[in-house]
Amino acid sequence: MRRILGFALLSILFSATVMAAQNSQTFYLATPARAGNIQLPRGIYEVTWSAPSKSRVTLTIKTEDEKTFKILSHVIEGKQDRTGVVTSVVDGVLYLQEIHTSNAKFILQNGIEASK
């Protein structure tokens, strides 16, 4: 009985870890950039998200020094051919526009329009 209980507990913990890993991604920002009203310095970040509500999701961005920021984004679910970030320069300011993970693309709601 103890073996079955132990196996069940281990199975549940492993499942939770796998599910959490599907909703997170690490990315590297080579230069400082803005995400909404947040200035992000150069560095390694971990972004996490919960299940989307329609096509909207709140991203939680955690810095190397454990600071966290939240930003709204539009999500397009589906397998992506590459992972990483997309940035753009608007009025001389570098903005983080998109975050691509292996199974979704997040378009950040920066409140700015990219120059064409």
Per-residue pLDDT reduced to its tens digit, 61-83: 999 888 999 999 999 988 888 88
Instruction: For residues 57 and 13, give the distance between their C-alpha atoms in angstroms, rounded to a whole number.
Output: 25
Do the Cβ atoms of 37 and 15 come closer than 8 Å? no
Residues facing 106 on adjacent strands: 75, 99
Q: In this predicted structure, what is the pLDDT of residue 92?
A: 92
Where do we find the tokens 């950039």?
Answer: 33
Instruction: For residues 115 and 70, give the distance between their C-alpha atoms in angstroms, rounded to a whole number.
Output: 25
Per-residue pLDDT reduced to its tens digit, 19-49: 444 689 999 999 999 998 889 999 999 999 9
Least confident of 9-13, 43-47, 77-81, 105-109: 9-13
Angle at 14 between CA 48 and CA 68, to 5 degrees: 20
Instruction: For residues 33 and 23, give the distance between their C-alpha atoms in angstroms, rounded to a whole number.
Output: 23
- To the question of pTM greater than 0.85 for the whole model, the response is no
Higher pLDDT, 96 or 9: 96
Instruction: For residues 15 and 17, give the distance between their C-alpha atoms in angstroms, rounded to a whole number.
Output: 5
Rounded average pLDDT over 73-94 = 90
